Amino acid sequence: MGCTNRASTGWYRDPVRILVVDDEVDLAEAVARGLRREGYAVDLAHDGEDALEKARLTAYDLICLDITMPIMDGREVCRAIRADPMHDEPPRILMLTARDEVHERVAGLDDGADDYLVKPFAFVELTARVRTLLRRDAATSGSLMVVGDIELDTAARSVSRSGQTISLTSKEFALLRYFMARPGVVISQEELLDHVWDENADPFTNTVRVTVGTLRRKLTLVGTEAPIETVIGAGYRLIEMPADA
């Protein structure tokens, strides 16, 4: 049956890789810390040229992009990303800027931005805009993901199995969300590092194995079987357990 959304049936895709671009280092790091607490993998860039290079190397799901930056401003970066044929699935772009004139907002949207947020902004509004942009591919505003007897609410940040609430860390929550968007699919350690962790993750550590292991144990505490299996030499797979198991 796969992953469904209680607001409507069908596939629910919840991307988690974000690039924050701002030459105000303190602001960029504060935004990144907040988004990481929400369970997203976040990379940073502090000028337009670095942002464009990272966007060419990594398939980001969303870019929070400041307009006024050295070397290359946000509007130039936005136009370059939209014109790049390498992006089969281009990222959503949220412009962050102190320019609040209507013509400035229109110009940014005409350059290819998906949304526009004026500084200073409340972090809760930023995260709401991020969630909205990341949901667009799902063609639904619902937030509840269901795979068998596991339910995950992206808005409430809650998880339950067979009706019993499970407490997860931010990274475990992000990892489960990624698995639930791809039930039955074997996912390699490299893919998990790319999408659930950020650019600072060490590919030679056992962080993926350890986190998968703790997530599996927590989910097994309230279920009859472990819903995540290891596929030797290939990765991990979320198994859909019947809700009445």
pLDDT digits (tens, 9 = 90+) for 172-189: 998 998 898 888 999 998
Average pLDDT of the chain is 82
Residue found under tokens 């670095």: 50
For residues 144-172, give the mean pLDDT. Answer: 87
Q: Which amino acid is at 36?
A: R
d(CA 240, CA 224): 12
pLDDT at position 214 is 94
Q: Report all structural domains of the chain as residue ranges with CATH numbers, in order of start.
A: 17-137 (3.40.50.2300), 143-238 (1.10.10.10)
Inter-residue long-range contacts of 72-81, CB under 8 Å, 24+ positions, other chains counted: 72/47, 72/48, 73/48, 74/21, 74/48, 74/108, 75/107, 75/108, 75/111, 76/48, 77/21, 77/48, 77/51, 77/52, 78/108, 78/111, 78/112, 78/113, 79/111, 79/112, 80/52, 81/52, 81/55, 81/112
| Burial profile 106-129: b = 16 or more Cβ within 10 angstroms, e = fewer | ebbeebbbbbbbeeeeeeeebbeb
CA–CA dist 105, 182 (Å, integer): 36
The pLDDT value given to residue 23: 92
Report the amino acid identity of residue 60.
Answer: Y
What gap in Å lies between CA 62 and CA 192, rounded to an integer?
17
Q: Tell me the pLDDT tens digit for each residue of 62-118.
A: 999 999 888 898 999 999 988 876 656 778 999 988 876 777 777 777 788 889 888
Q: What angle do CA 37, 38, 40 make, to 5 degrees?
A: 95
Q: Tell me whether the omega of the peptide bond preceding residue 120 falls within 30 degrees of 0, making it cis.
A: yes
Residue 11 has pLDDT above 50, yes or no: no
Tens-place pLDDT, residues 17-48: 899 999 999 999 999 999 988 888 899 999 99
Please answer whether residues 178 and 240 qualify as being in contact, where contact means their C-beta atoms are separated by less than 8 angstroms.
no
How confident is the model at residue 204, as a pLDDT? Answer: 67
Question: Quick one: pLDDT at residue 68?
Answer: 87
Tell me the pairing of strands 144-147 and 4-5. antiparallel
Of the chain, the percentage scoring pLDDT greater than 90 comes to 36
Instruction: Please report the pLDDT score of residue 12 as a whole number.
Output: 34
